[in-house]
């Protein structure tokens, strides 16, 4: 029984080995299926089913004495789209998923040194009391000739390239003088190129288009008008992990690019800025548990609309963001701004907690609590001071 290789090449086959065990005192008889259905996926593609074929010469029926083991191998080809951190699951068996970091070889067809790692094989132990396999999952490695003519599955690669960008939420609340302003934000990023090597740091391989839209909504007023909406398209380079190691942090990422922000209005209420930005991202502590993330965002204005020519006095040139929490628990997210004018700036803090923990695992999303105080919650009122507290629901954070 072997653990999976950390890395594999797509030019080697995908193999799943079922190990049947005679777990009954009087022996066990098992029918061995001609095909095995598995599901493979990665962060860009939803689980897709594949049928693997039983190896030639393998028995169709097994008679196992007590304690006897018999391995049967099933073979298939990695899908054309497969790359990155691949999850392999056998839905028809009670097993845990296995994971392999899959790299596509150079298009010349010559395998790199990684080929010595071989293909990815899922090895599963199965024993029966009633003739149907039950199992626990393991993985082995064994190279074999690839099948370049394997069909490419019909999957929606367009939708699979989308992922969360800024938090998405809807919240309502009240502030100074009893003013009511609901707020909602939509945001996503789209990866332009899926690299063959998931560790690639090339510019084009890590290029994203991002879009964020934030609206303030006076729900309680007559006809419920929108106070203002900010439209923020962006084009940027993003690496979640640069690989730069230090005793001071557990991971360092980086984001850099161009962003536009405007409210789409004409006349004196028109607002707009363009800027280039650089955002290093440091994680401190166990990234799978409670940890601290610090994200300073430095920006330089390449264009400022005349109607908001003094926006830097209130917004400044740096957003300082602190996030403390865990991926499956509570999280506190705070962004600080300091304008170039004395006493101008803002604090925006958001607390989220998973509904799955608050209610039950069928629920998705988060309870959202927010507080803003300062200048420029929306770009229309960039030079107006406001404080407001809200409660709502968050899809992503």
Q: What is the DSSP string of 213-261?
A: EEEEE-TTSTT--EEEEEEEEEEEEEES------SS-SEEEEEEEEEEE
How do residues 327-371 score in pLDDT, each as one tens digit?
A: 999 999 999 999 999 889 999 999 999 999 999 888 999 999 999
Distance CA 324, CA 336 (A): 15
User: Is 262 one of the catalytic residues?
Assistant: yes
Average pLDDT (121-131) is 48
Least confident piece of the model among 80-84, 257-261, 319-323: 80-84
Residue 206 phi, psi (nearest 5): -130, 35
Classify 101 as helix, strand or coil.
strand
Tokens of 278: 């650089």
- In the chain, % helix, strand, coil (3-state, to 5) comes to 5, 50, 40
Same fold yes or no, 7-140 and 161-396: no
Q: How confident is the model at residue 124 (pLDDT cuts 50, 70, 90)?
A: low
Question: pLDDT at position 152, please?
Answer: 40
Whole-model pTM: value is 0.70
- Report how far apart the first and last C-alpha atoms of the chain are (Å, whole number): 40
Which positions make up the binding site? 223, 265, 270
Residue 292 phi, psi (nearest 5): -105, 135
For the domain spanning 7-140, the CATH number is: 2.60.40
Its CATH architecture, for the domain 161-396, is Beta Barrel (2.40)
Is pLDDT of 280 > 70?
yes
Distance CA 256, CA 198 (A): 19
Which residue out of 262, 291, 346, 394 is catalytically annotated?
Answer: 262
Is pLDDT of 299 > 80?
yes
Which positions make up the binding site for Ca(2+)? 223, 265, 270
Is pLDDT of 41 > 70?
yes
Classify 45 as helix, strand or coil.
strand
Domain boundaries, the chain: 7-140, 161-396
Classify 46 as helix, strand or coil.
strand
Average pLDDT (303-328) is 97
User: Is 230 one of the catalytic residues?
Assistant: no
Is pLDDT of 109 > 80?
no
Distance CA 180, CA 166 (A): 24
Distance CA 152, CA 390 (A): 48
Is pLDDT of 134 > 50?
no
Burial class (CB in 10 A: 0-12, 13-18, 19+), 201: middle
Which residue out of 48, 200, 260, 373 is catalytically annotated?
Answer: 260
306, 267 contact by CB (below 8 A): no
**CA distances from residue 140 to 13, 100, 337 in whole angstroms, order as listed:** 12, 11, 52
């Amino acid at each position: 029984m072997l653990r999976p290789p950390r890395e594999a090449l797509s030019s080697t086959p995908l193999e799943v080995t079922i190990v049947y065990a005679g777990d009954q005192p009087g022996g066990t008889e098992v029918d061995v299926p001609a095909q095995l259905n598995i599901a493979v996926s990665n962060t860009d593609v939803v689980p897709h089913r594949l049928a693997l074929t039983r190896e030639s010469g393998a028995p169709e029926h097994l008679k196992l004495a007590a304690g006897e083991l018999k391995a049967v191998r099933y073979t298939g080809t990695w899908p054309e789209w497969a790359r990155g951190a691949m999850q392999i699951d056998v839905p028809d068996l009670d097993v845990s998923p296995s994971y392999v970091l899959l790299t596509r070889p150079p298009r010349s067809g010559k395998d790199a040194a990684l080929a010595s790692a071989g293909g990815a094989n899922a090895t599963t132990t199965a024993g029966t009391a009633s003739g149907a396999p039950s199992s626990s999952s393991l993985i082995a490695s064994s190279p074999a000739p690839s099948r370049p003519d394997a069909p490419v599955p019909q999957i929606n690669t367009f939708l699979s390239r989308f992922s969360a960008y800024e938090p998405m939420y809807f919240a309502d609340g009240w502030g100074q003088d009893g003013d009511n302003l609901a707020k909602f934000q939509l945001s996503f990023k789209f990866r332009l190129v899926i690299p063959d090597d998931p560790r690639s740091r090339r510019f084009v391989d890590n290029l994203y288009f991002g879009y964020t839209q934030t609206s303030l909504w006076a729900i309680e007023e007559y006809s419920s008008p929108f106070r203002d909406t900010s439209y923020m398209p962006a084009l940027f380079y993003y690496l979640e992990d640069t690989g730069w190691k230090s005793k001071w942090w557990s991971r360092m990422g980086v984001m850099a690019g161009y962003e536009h922000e405007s409210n789409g209005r004409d006349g004196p209420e028109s607002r707009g800025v363009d800027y280039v930005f650089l955002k290093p991202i440091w994680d401190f502590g166990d990234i799978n548990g409670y940890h601290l993330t610090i994200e300073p965002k430095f920006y330089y204005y390449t264009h400022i609309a005349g109607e908001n020519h003094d926006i830097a006095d209130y917004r400044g040139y740096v957003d300082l963001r602190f996030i403390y929490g865990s991926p499956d628990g509570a999280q506190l997210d705070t962004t600080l701004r300091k304008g170039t004018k004395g006493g101008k700036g803002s604090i925006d803090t958001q607390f989220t907690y998973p509904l799955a923990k608050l209610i039950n695992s069928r629920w998705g999303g988060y309870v959202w609590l927010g507080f803003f105080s300062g200048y420029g919650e929306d770009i229309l009122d960039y030079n107006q001071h406001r404080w407001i507290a809200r409660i709502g629901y968050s899809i992503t954070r």
